[in-house]
Amino acid sequence: MPSLLEDPAGRRHPCARRRLRTLRRGAGVTTLRVESPVGPLFISEEGGAITRVSWRGDGAGEETELLVEARRQLRAYFDGTRQDFDLPLSVSGSAFQRQVCDAMAAIPFGETRSYGDIAAELGVPAQAVGQACGGNPIPVIIPCHRVLGATNLGGFSGEGGVETKVALLRHEGAAGLLI
């Protein structure tokens, strides 16, 4: 099956409903600030696709239709009325980075996988998966918080580090895994 983040036809993946949009040359980046229980999130769009979610940024700019929809979906996620996202995404980086993002996107709400699980699926070392997870440009929407170490929580590159990872897992009802 082709990568859901590399599929130029925009076909939907059965586990994670996302579409790829090819970036248009010359299209500017627009960012919107969204308040959340884990701090303010800055969502960036370029060329009709979400390209970044960050805890730091500048939310100045035009409220595009896509950014308004992303805000709506994030609010619904944090309100507990949404478990997945249906937004066009564009992940920059290597083909391997996109493969790992695909694997993370396929992890259902409230479930977790280990770095080793994803590594075995992709036929690569777990450490490489951990590094790619740490480079996830679209956290929360691509749920890197659902990936754990074999014997610990692993890391989290978002603001607040592992505490934010724990908060997201608790929100999804996966807190039993943390005890």
DSSP state of 30: E
Q: Report helix, strand or coil for 147.
A: strand
Q: CA-to-CA distance for 75 and 96, rounded, in angstroms?
A: 30
Residues recognised as catalytic: 144
Q: Which two tokens stand for residue 25?
A: 């040359």
User: 131: phi > 0 → left, psi -120 to 50 → alpha, else beta; which?
Assistant: alpha
Closest by CA to 135, choosing from 160, 98, 88, 164, is 98
Beta-bridge mates of residue 50: 45, 89
